[in-house]
Structures are given as structure tokens and as C-alpha cells.
Structure 1
Amino acid sequence: MPQPQGPRPYHRRTAAAGTLVLAALCLGGGPATAAPAAPERPARGADGGHRPDVRLLDTITVPVGTVLDGVPFGGISGIDYDPRSGRYVVLSDDRSELAPARFHILRLPLDAKGFAVRSPQPAGGTVLTGPDGKPFPRPTVDPEAIRWTPGGKGLLWTSEGAAAAGLPPFVREAAPDGGHRRELPLPAAYRPVLAADGTPVSGVRDNQAFEGLTLSLDGSKVVTLTEGPLVQDGPAPTAGAGGRSRLLVQGRADGRTLGEFVYPLGPPADAGPVPAGAQRGASEILAVNESDYLVVERTARSGTDFGIRIWWTTTVGATDVRGRAALAGTERAMAKRLLFDFATTGTAPDNVEGLTWGPQLADGSRSLVLVTDDNFGALGSPGTAFHLLAVRPGLLAVHSPDVDHDGSVDRADLRRLLRSGRAGDLNGDGRTDGRDIRLWGSYGRTFPFPRGD
């Protein structure tokens, strides 16, 4: 995630008259209630119109059948960018059937218009190995998501397992050479349990496990998101109904569960007409700050026809369900807001399964790089697409507006904001000032939580 540029000091103010005036503007209340402060306007485009929150800048496609690093390139289900080296890692979901389970290192330089190259520049491929030091035999692994560890010193990756065969998913850490380091413990609720006749009783559904993986910005927490509900949490999403996935937060050092929340898939009507038999699920998650995430929701209408939306969501105000064997249905789910819909672009997105922050763009926007899984052409996809999006500056807070981390956004956060140093620099400009308060107030209108005192 882009960081404030240069060694600029963080400016602090005391909670005096200026703070109280801004508090009144943002929250209202008190003897003289003012109208809520208006959010900062988006930057204007060259035509004088307001720039949208998120724009599609460019798309490049690697054709089906391309050979990279001596193996078929495709089935890409995860991507992550390392700002130190400028390299991307991409993970193939090949279950060691066409070649051993593997990841590739790529370069995707940018220019003022988009991608500076029309095909990724290969920088090496690596085979993943298991605890025994050997490549995975087929089909014992189903790679789905990957992230660099801090400093690019290792990699975290997930496998969906094979629930229909009782094979659980996992999150593992690998060395840069693909060698196995360790595996995080899996909470019992996620382990697939089958009846004597093979009917799933509990745990992840087949092919709906850990599609999404991200790290907290400081690298201390591992966050996973199931593609769909656990068996005991309710039915799988359909064309006529949404579902409830689980977002799991674990300590990277020891795998201890630090939090667990319900992510709501759908509601179904928001994606327009969906034919019977269409598949819906969450295919990736990406950390924005300590409490907020971007989630890719995918509606598969056919092998090449996909609805792809990116949602901005938060754990603030959501029920922590850690340790619950099954959801009761009364839990407060994570709040969410639609951030981007490919349907507005006129571009067919294909099967988006990977999402990462890229380099900061020349105009100050933050880049998002998406990648698609072409299923090696088996379902008619022309190849692996890389999409480049631009997120306007000042839209997403780089630190949580829940400044005191008490699970709510309220006056206590506002009182603390200007005295909290780096944590109060919500817009990431290296200063803690009134702009951060305006962003805090805008966040409250995006996610209208019940506000306390």
C-alpha cells in the first residue's frame, strides 16, 4: 500500500477550539448543531467533470497456451505486489496436473497511460513444495491466493483443499524458493466433516474455501475469506439468494485467532438478472487499513461471462464470531459499499480471482492490479487478463477511522484523532490535520454506524 512520501513530520494539534468546531461540523450535536461537513470533492478530469472514485485504465491479456518458465502459464488465482523490488508474484491453481504446483515472478511496469508493456515480463518461476520437501503430487493441493510477507522475505499462500474428499484447506508460509516453512492452525469449524454417505455435515464446501487472503498492513495478521458459507452456516449462494462467508483474522506468528466476522454475499438483486445455476462467491480480499478491506465478488453466468464487482467493507460494528461452531443468523454482518462494477466499463472482465495494490500513479491515484483465472482455456477464456484500476486520492483511509480500536466510530475517535500521530493521518499525506477529520466524517456517512458518545 502506498505510504506517505518522504520524511515529513506528523503535525499534531491540541483538542482546543479548532477541534471542537470541526467536531461540530462532522458530528453535529451540542447546543449549536451544524450540518454535516460535505465530503471532499473528487478531482476534476481533463474535460472538467468530476473524476470517478475508481477508473479502469488498461487491460492486457496473455493468450491461452503461453509457456512461461518452461511450463504452461494460466489458472492464475492470486497476485501480490512487492513495492521494494517492484515485482509481482502470481499463483497458478494448477493442481500439479499440467506441471507441479507453482508461482511466477513478473514485472508489470506502468506509464502515464497504463501498462508500459503489452505482456508481463517474466522474472522467474518457482515450484511449491510440501513439508516433505517434494513437489505436491496431483491432485493433493488447490492453490488459490498468495501474498508476500513483509520485505518480500517469504510468501503466504492458501489451498482450498478438496472438501468432497475430506481434504481440508490450509494457509502456509513458504520461502522465496518455494520451500515449506510452516502452516497456520485451522479452526475446527472450517474442517470438512462428511457423513458416512459422503454428504457434507460441516466445514468448508468443496471449491468454496480460502479464495481470499491478505495481510494486515504491518504484516502481523493473516486474514482469509471463504468464497461461500460454511456448510453449517447456511446454504450456498444461488441466483436467487446471497450467503454469509466468514472472514478470519489470525496472528501470523502463532496462528492464534484474533477475530472472525460475517461477510455478506449479495444481496442477489444488486448484480442484475442472474440465470439459474449461476455461481456467486467472494474470490479475493485486500486490506485497506486496520479494519477495512476490498472484496472481489464474482457472479459466474457461464465459462466466459462473469459479473465482477469490488466492494469496500469493514469489520467496524460487526459481530466478532470467533469460536462459534455455527452462525445463529442474528450476527451483525460487515457493512459494505459498492466501489467498482465492471458492468459500467464496457469491458468483459473474465474470471477475476486476484487483486493487489500496485505502485502509486503519476496523478497521485492508487493503482489496483487485478488478474484472471483462464482455466487454461478449458471453458473458452482467451487467456489471462491483467486489469489496471486507479483509485482517486483521499477516498480510502490508510488508517482505520476507528482510531481507538473499540469496534465503533464515534466521538471518542474524533477526540483522539488529532493526538494520535501517525494513526490519525487517515489520508496518508504525512500530516494529521483537518483533512483527516473531513475524511473521518465522510467515512461515517459511507458506513452509517450507530454513534455513541
Structure 2
Amino acid sequence: MRHARALVGGLAATTTLFAASLPASASASSGQAPDVRLLDTISVPVGGTELGMPFGGLSGIDYDPGSGTYVAVSDDRSENGKARFYTLRLPLAGGAFAGSAPDVESLSVLADTDGAPFAAKTVDPEAIRFTPGARSVLWTSEGASSAGKPAFVREATTSGGYVTELPLPSAYAPVRSASGTLTAGVRNNQALEGLTLSPDGGKAVTITENALVQDGPAASLVAKSPSRLLVTDRRTGEPVAERVYEVDPISDAPTAPLPPPVNTYSADRGVSEILAINETDYLTVERSFASGVGFAIRVYWTSTLGATDVRGEEALSGTETPMTKKLLFDFTTTGADADNVEGITWGPTLPDGSRSLVLVADDNFGFNGSTTKFHLLSVRSGLLAARTPDVNGDGVVDARDLAAIPTAGRAGDLDGNGRTNAKDIRLWLTYTKKFPTA
């Protein structure tokens, strides 16, 4: 009872401290702009070349605010050209793209551990991120589980040279039976599609597109799939945490076969990218596809708070508490054709103070009618916290965090503006209303 009275007293003091500076409209929500809006899209015709190689297959993108440039990786398996990434610009004019195409500045060929470009079909680049200060890049390869080639996370110089590789837990390694059936590890072509860095840049965060073979089924029309989110310390290479993220069922059944030479009906769903919001919260892109129907692209807000840490587990038991998630943006409601979205990054702050998101769609080098697209979204200011609402770091979001904000220093600066004030209180309250995790 004494503890309860002390907590209530602390909350009362917090409210009194900031009451004078809270605007009268703080609790009003009527007339508020949508949380996330699609502002603009540009498309790049299929079949073009840039700097001597086909421009396509863009599967990951990241923005460096220091230089104003983006880095985008192609998922070319060294078949149409060398495995590579591009440095490009996407200038904005107000709330739209300033041009009708990206300004490609450079092309960097990725090197294998021996310093030479990758041989054909030995790599499958999928995601890329700048390291702090854009001194280098991290990138992932899905590998080829069907051929026994493991997925990996590597660091490269900005010119593509090999630097180092971050180890993956043994549970991710592909294991095949004598007959060639995959019995454990990442699924073929459903491995490390997603990569992001922690806000301080010290941790690499990856997510599998679907469940490891031993963990559960791939997503189907009726079943979710328990993917794994892995947090790795970049300095030591040690896993820091691992959580379960449930991929939703496939959105639509196929209505027609894929074009030749495939000629089969196809449908799938998986996580195609992840982006850090703060230490505990992320955006995920879930891409659902059905032949004859097309793509359904949705962006989710998800959190590790309250989710079971499965670090070191070779297989899931099915009793784990997965990450909380909430649908934040659904392309299917816009009337726009999102296409094969595989990359997402924070972009520049927009003139109205909202934060921009830039997404890229992979054209699959023209297969099945896909086109390279860049989408510009705006995220309403004050929706997402730059620092975790778990202010006291006890793993849950509750009244103790609200009470701690005034004296928590940097941890209490939820909006990241360098000050702890009423805006942080308001953001915490908005968070617990919009996305309850306690």
C-alpha cells in the first residue's frame, strides 16, 4: 500500500509539473490528419541501365541524412550483372518527389570474402543499411537453402569491399535430409529479407521472411508464420535478444498461373523489410502476393516489449508470446499499385513537420509485370516515439514510466528534441492509447 501511494503521489507530481504547459487541445483528436499518408510515387521503366549494368531488382534502401543520399541494393544474384548496390538521390519538392526518376550517382560491386565479385548464383542480396556516419554498409544475403548455401549478414565498405561477417545462431543454418528435404534452418528464398540498425548503431536487427523450418509453417491462406527477429551486437557478434514475430496469413488466393517459364499458381506472404523506430519498436513491411491478383502491401507497427526472448532456442515450442503488432498503413486502401515493395527507410523531415518514409519496389527485372517504384509516405508528427516508452527499462509500459519521465534525462526525451517537457508526456499518453503494450 505504501508503494502504491508513493506511485500515485509521483504521478500527481508529474501531472502538476506539466499541466501548465499542456495545450487545451492536447486530448482532442477530431479533425486530426491520418497517421500515415501516401504522398507520391515515381516509377522507373523496366529494362534501363545505369553505369553499365541493368537498373533493377532493388530490394533494400537506406537514407543518410548527413549527405542526403540513399543506398539501394539489387537482388541480382550476379546473373544480370554483378551483385551490387547503388548510391542515389531522391530530392523532394514540398511533399512530393522533385523529379520523375532517381539520380543515380554511383554503383558499387559487392565483393566476396576473397575480394572478388560474387560468382553467378552464389549470393542473393536483400537488405542494406548505412552504419553510423555512412562509413560503411551492412547487407544481407538470403543464401540458397535448397543448395545448402546459408544466409548471412556482412559489412562492406562504401565501395563494396568485404569487411566482416556477423555470425548467425546455429538454428538458422540449413539442414537437409539424405533425400534433400530441408529439415531445419531458414526456408529457401524466405530468409533474411529484413535488416535495420538500433538507434545507436551498435546492434544489427534482422528478421526472417517466414518461420525457420523447425519453428512452424510458412504463411498460408489460413495460417500465420512465426518469424524470428534477431538482435546482434555488432562489436562482439553475440546475440543480444531474439523474439517471435507472427506474419499474417496470405491475403488472397491465386486466380491465374504465373507467366512462362513458371506456369504455376503461386501465393505467399512474408516480412520484406524492418525499420527501427526506437530501442523496442519497429516498422515491418508485410508483402502478400497471389498470381492473377498481385501484391498487397501493409506496414505494421510492432514492439518487442512483453515478447518472449527465444535466444539460444534451436526450435520454438509454440507457447512463446509473440511481438505485439498493429496495422499502421495499408496500400490496398489507397487505390495505388504498390507493386513488390521490399525496402523502407526514414527520409527527410517534411515541410509540415511530419516524418517521411521512402519505400522501394523490386521490379524482378521485368518478370510478371513488376516495375521499380519509389513511394513517399508521411508519418504524422507525435505518433511514434524516438525513444522507447519503456522509460525505466523494466520491460513493460506502465504508470511507472510516466512517473519517471521528468527525471529520466535522455531516456525521458521521447520525441528526441533534446528537451524533456510536456510534449514527452503527451507522446507517452498517445502511445499507450494508440498502441497498448502493457
Does TM-score exceed 0.5, indicating one fold?
Answer: yes
Q: What does residue 397 of structure 1 align with?
A: 385
Q: Does 1:246 align with 2:214?
A: no
Q: What is the TM-score normalised by the length of structure 1? A: 0.88
Q: Does 1:214 align with 2:202?
A: no
The answer on whether the counterparts of 2:63 and 2:71 sit within 8 Å (CA) in structure 1 is yes
Partner Cα distance (1:405, 1:61) in 2: 43
Q: What does residue 356 of structure 1 align with?
A: 345
Q: What does residue 429 of structure 2 align with?
A: 441
- Determine helix, strand or coil for the equivalent of 2:407: coil
Shift of 1:439: 1.7
Partner Cα distance (1:274, 1:311) in 2: 22
Partner Cα distance (1:299, 1:177) in 2: 33
The residue correspondences of 1:151-230 to structure 2 (distance < 5 A) are 151-230=133-212
Are the structure 2 counterparts of residues 146 and 435 from structure 1 closer, same or farther at C-alpha, using a change threshold of 3 Å? same
The answer on whether the counterparts of 1:304 and 1:350 sit within 8 Å (CA) in structure 2 is no
Q: What does residue 14 of structure 2 align with?
A: 19
Q: What does residue 375 of structure 1 align with?
A: 364
Q: What does residue 100 of structure 1 align with?
A: 82
Shift of 1:255: 1.3
- Determine helix, strand or coil for the equivalent of 1:418: helix
The answer on whether the counterparts of 1:304 and 1:380 sit within 8 Å (CA) in structure 2 is no
Q: What does residue 260 of structure 1 align with?
A: 242
The answer on whether the counterparts of 2:308 and 2:322 sit within 8 Å (CA) in structure 1 is yes
Partner Cα distance (2:25, 2:120) in 1: 56
The answer on whether the counterparts of 1:210 and 1:224 sit within 8 Å (CA) in structure 2 is yes
- Determine helix, strand or coil for the equivalent of 2:365: helix
Q: What does residue 388 of structure 1 align with?
A: 376
Q: What does residue 258 of structure 2 align with?
A: none
Q: Does 1:285 align with 2:274?
A: yes
Q: What does residue 309 of structure 1 align with?
A: 298
Q: Of 403, 407, 418, which residue of structure 2 is paired with 1:430?
A: 418
Q: What does residue 84 of structure 1 align with?
A: 66
The answer on whether the counterparts of 2:280 and 2:304 sit within 8 Å (CA) in structure 1 is yes
Partner Cα distance (1:291, 1:78) in 2: 22
Partner Cα distance (2:390, 2:222) in 1: 35
How large is the Cα RMSD of the aligned pairs?
A: 2.1
The answer on whether the counterparts of 2:95 and 2:351 sit within 8 Å (CA) in structure 1 is no
Shift of 1:21: 5.1
Partner Cα distance (2:306, 2:145) in 1: 32
Q: What does residue 331 of structure 2 align with?
A: 342
* Counterpart residue identity of residue 314, structure 1: S
Q: What does residue 34 of structure 1 align with?
A: none
Shift of 1:432: 1.1
Shift of 1:378: 1.6
Partner Cα distance (1:23, 1:275) in 2: 55
- Determine helix, strand or coil for the equivalent of 2:426: helix
Shift of 1:129: 0.2
Shift of 1:22: 8.1
Shift of 1:50: 2.9
Give deviations 1:311-343, integer Å, cap 9, x for gaps.
Answer: 000001111110001111111100011100001
Are the structure 2 counterparts of residues 215 and 92 from structure 1 closer, same or farther at C-alpha, using a change threshold of 3 Å? same
The answer on whether the counterparts of 1:38 and 1:442 sit within 8 Å (CA) in structure 2 is no
* Counterpart residue identity of residue 398, structure 2: D
Are the structure 2 counterparts of residues 41 and 136 from structure 1 closer, same or farther at C-alpha, using a change threshold of 3 Å? farther
Q: Does 1:123 align with 2:105?
A: yes
Shift of 1:15: 5.5
The answer on whether the counterparts of 1:225 and 1:285 sit within 8 Å (CA) in structure 2 is yes
The residue correspondences of 1:110-149 to structure 2 (distance < 5 A) are 110-149=92-131
Give deviations 1:323-364, integer Å, cap 9, x for gaps.
Answer: 001111111100011100001111010000000000000100
* Counterpart residue identity of residue 432, structure 2: G
* Counterpart residue identity of residue 19, structure 1: T
Give deviations 1:205-246, integer Å, cap 9, x for gaps.
Answer: 000000000001110000000000000001111122111100
Are the structure 2 counterparts of residues 425 and 206 from structure 1 closer, same or farther at C-alpha, using a change threshold of 3 Å? same
Q: What does residue 405 of structure 2 align with?
A: 417
Q: What is the TM-score normalised by the length of structure 2? A: 0.91
Q: Does 1:297 align with 2:325?
A: no
The answer on whether the counterparts of 2:254 and 2:291 sit within 8 Å (CA) in structure 1 is no
Shift of 1:446: 3.0
* Counterpart residue identity of residue 394, structure 2: D
The answer on whether the counterparts of 1:39 and 1:441 sit within 8 Å (CA) in structure 2 is no
Shift of 1:254: 1.8
Are the structure 2 counterparts of residues 448 and 38 from structure 1 closer, same or farther at C-alpha, using a change threshold of 3 Å? farther
Partner Cα distance (1:281, 1:390) in 2: 24
The answer on whether the counterparts of 1:222 and 1:250 sit within 8 Å (CA) in structure 2 is yes
The answer on whether the counterparts of 1:239 and 1:275 sit within 8 Å (CA) in structure 2 is no
Partner Cα distance (1:93, 1:314) in 2: 28
Shift of 1:304: 7.3
Shift of 1:448: 2.9
- Determine helix, strand or coil for the equivalent of 1:210: coil
- Determine helix, strand or coil for the equivalent of 1:343: helix
The answer on whether the counterparts of 1:39 and 1:442 sit within 8 Å (CA) in structure 2 is no
Aligned residues: 416
- Determine helix, strand or coil for the equivalent of 1:413: helix
Give me the identity figure in percent: 59
Where do 5+ consecutive residues of structure 1 fail to align?
A: 1-13, 25-36
* Counterpart residue identity of residue 134, structure 2: G
Shift of 1:430: 3.0
- Determine helix, strand or coil for the equivalent of 1:231: coil
Higher RCO (Cα < 8 Å, 6 or more apart)? 1
